[in-house]
Chain A
């Protein structure tokens, strides 16, 4: 019953096939719509390049240092946004990710600190990574259970978990930051391979795996089907409960990895590490072309969305915009990006959010 043809039937006619696995059938306009976030990112980068050349005879793009800095900034929001993309496509939202990230950061710091005297540095880090990511899966599993089996709306269930994860993280951290000293961990957080920061490499590999998972596997197809029309997906025989449970665990794991990389970078775990990132990660997903109503969105779009945010944050400081104007600019860019998205959706006639 869960074979792919039945899922295609489950998808209502108004919802265009998601991205890559139907690329052959897409019209030119739809391709442009899919690339919208990347085009927007390109335009943004060119605007900063022009600004840098005109205003102070510098260069924005022709500078590997700038590219490295932007990529490092994008790591944490992108990891959260990757998990958030899956959840938003399913028609849900995960508000607890920021504090699950903080929880994982604190757990990673504690475990590596504890394991340091017992084993060699790389093993201590590996243990910290595993434990922290697994611990991050627990609030994810509770989220999934609440949403899938107890029918709690995702907004409310994960909001509750937001508070629980926050409290547990601060309790474990004793209300402060947890320092950890491990040469291997710090090299993971701040070292480079041929000029590419390790955190960026780890994130790129992880995001590619997630891209494959969403685009090429049954799990990903079920995710689109449930988001587009849960009723039809159920009739088509998809195990919605089991899927949602796994989905929110996945989202927790993404936040967990983000937390571990935070600890690696700052050599300290902080419960509030992900607090400011929640809205950034939702914005990245939406800029990337996903609909908050579910059923559409891609990982590659989200990557562009996360980089749009990173480029704005970094670029505005680089071209020396006054701080208060930075707040305004970020907000305006998010609104414009979503407006373009809306316009293009009605223009291409597909992927309507209603």
Chain B
């Protein structure tokens, strides 16, 4: 008996210790909003959490941040189910698959929990239209990745200059909505506006910088006219930039990177990367929480919010107005 009471007391102590929120119950936040990222081990989503937390603090809302370690519906859905079981007042989620997350998210919606998707989307990403079976989320808040790809194409074409040449896209894996859209936008812009630039076959590196570097060296060996590469995410760009360095072509083959982790600053300063297209993940997180709060307090919210991009290059990388868009916690 003694042992059991002791255990119970220990458990109680552990519970109160682990949940500081519960101890100031009088002051408890009115709403709890859950943010489920595409993966927890990515500076982009960690920065998104920072923005979401800033909004949560300003509004007096409790923010739960829970996700899986990799970008995969198989690991994300159990996290989602666990979050639904905790019955938050709203869910912000970056769905890891356009179709596989529809039914799991419908369970949340059916349980009366409003859903807002951030960064990625389900169905077609067009919500509250009455069309299709994936229109139930209230809003889609994200960068326009097609536009981001177009901006990358313009930046790369400008860096290469008048004479043009060959370029290619270094991409992660096929089937990821955001990186697919960046590639689509990049290719469309090049085809429409830069006829003197030829876009070669895309190379997929499975998020392995070593592989991306080797691919760049091989493409260059095959196509000495290679003048530029677009790294569609962090490791694609990091690897491609290293490949350019190993090939002794720094400055000769231009590198445009998507996303702006802290390491990008050094890469731009040393000339490894010419241009980085930074998304505004903190802005996505901030407006996600604000939109959920607006909905919960009876306001109507837009069905789509597009957040912007910042183009970072050697000329502006030290500007504090630009530096704030570097991803960090």
Contact A271 to B247, CB < 8 A, known contacts A176-B327, A177-B261: no
List, in ascending order, chain B residues with CB within 8 A of A273's CB: 209
B111 at the interface (CB under 8 A from A): no
Query: What are the interface flags for B204-247 relative to A under an 8 Å C-beta threshold, 1 for contact and 0 otherwise?
Result: 10111111011101110110000000000011001100100111
Evaluate contact between B234 and A317: CB separation under 8 angstroms. Answer: no
A271 to B46, CA, bound (A): 15
A65 at the interface (CB under 8 A from B): yes
Please give the residue numbers on chain A whose beta carbons come within 8 Å of chain B beta carbons, in ascending order: 56, 58, 63, 65-66, 68-70, 72-73, 76-77, 166, 170, 174-179, 181, 190, 197, 262, 265-268, 270-273, 275-277, 310, 313-315, 317-320, 322-324, 326
CB distance B40 to A72 under 8 Å? no
Whether the pair A68, B214 counts as a contact (CB closer than 8 A) is no
Decide if B246 touches A76 in the complex (CB within 8 Å). Answer: no
Question: Whole-angstrom distance between the alpha carbons of A326 and B203 in the complex?
Answer: 10
A175 engages B42 (CB within 8 Å): yes
Q: List 17 A-B contacts (CB under 8 A).
A: A63-B221, A68-B246, A72-B217, A175-B42, A175-B329, A176-B262, A177-B263, A181-B270, A190-B245, A265-B213, A267-B267, A268-B263, A272-B41, A277-B208, A277-B210, A313-B211, A318-B218
Q: Is the CB of B69 within 8 A of A166?
A: yes
Tell me how many residue pairs across A and B have CB atoms closer than 8 Å: 124
Residues of B within 8 A of A170 (CB): 40-41, 69
* Cβ contact within 8 Å between A65 and B247: yes
A72 touches B265 (CB 8 A): no
Q: Are A270 and B202 in contact (CB under 8 A)?
A: no
**B328 to A, closest residue via Cβ:** A176
Q: Are A175 and B40 in contact (CB under 8 A)?
A: yes
Find out whether the CB atom of B201 lies under 8 angstroms from the CB atom of A322.
Answer: yes
B43 within 8 A of A: yes
Contacts A65-B247, A73-B214, A272-B41 hold; do A266 and B204 have CB atoms under 8 A apart?
A: no
Chain A residue numbers with a CB within 8 Å of B203 are: 317, 323
Contact A276 B238, beta carbon cutoff 8 Å: no
Does B103 sit at the interface, judged by CB under 8 A? no
Q: How far is the CB of B223 from chain A (nearest CB, A)?
A: 9
Query: In the complex, how many angstroms separate the beta carbon of B74 from the nearest chain A beta carbon?
Result: 16
Would you give the 0/1 interface string for B26-48, flagging 1 where the beta carbon is closer than 8 Å to chain A?
Answer: 00000000000000111100100
Question: Given B42, B210, B270, which contacts A76 in the complex, CB threshold below 8 Å?
Answer: B210
User: In whole angstroms, what is the CA distance A313 to B203 when docked?
Assistant: 11
Residue from the list B206, B246, B266, B327 in contact with A181, Cβ < 8 A? B266
Residue on B nearest A52 in the bound complex, by CB: B222
- Residue in B42, B46, B69, B206 whose beta carbon sits within 8 Å of that of A276 in the complex: B206
List chain B residues, Cβ under 8 A from A272.
41, 207, 235
Bound-state CA distance A60–B25 (Å) is: 71
User: Are A317 and B238 in contact (CB-based, < 8 A)?
Assistant: no
Query: Are B238 and A69 touching (Cβ within 8 A)?
Result: no
Smallest Cβ distance from B180 to chain A, in angstroms? Answer: 13
Q: Are the C-beta atoms of B208 and A69 separated by less than 8 Å? A: no
A73 vs B210: C-alpha distance in the bound complex, in angstroms?
A: 6
CA distance A35 to B267 in the complex (A): 43
Chain B 165-223 residues near chain A, CB threshold 8 A: 174, 201-204, 206-211, 213-215, 217-219, 221-222
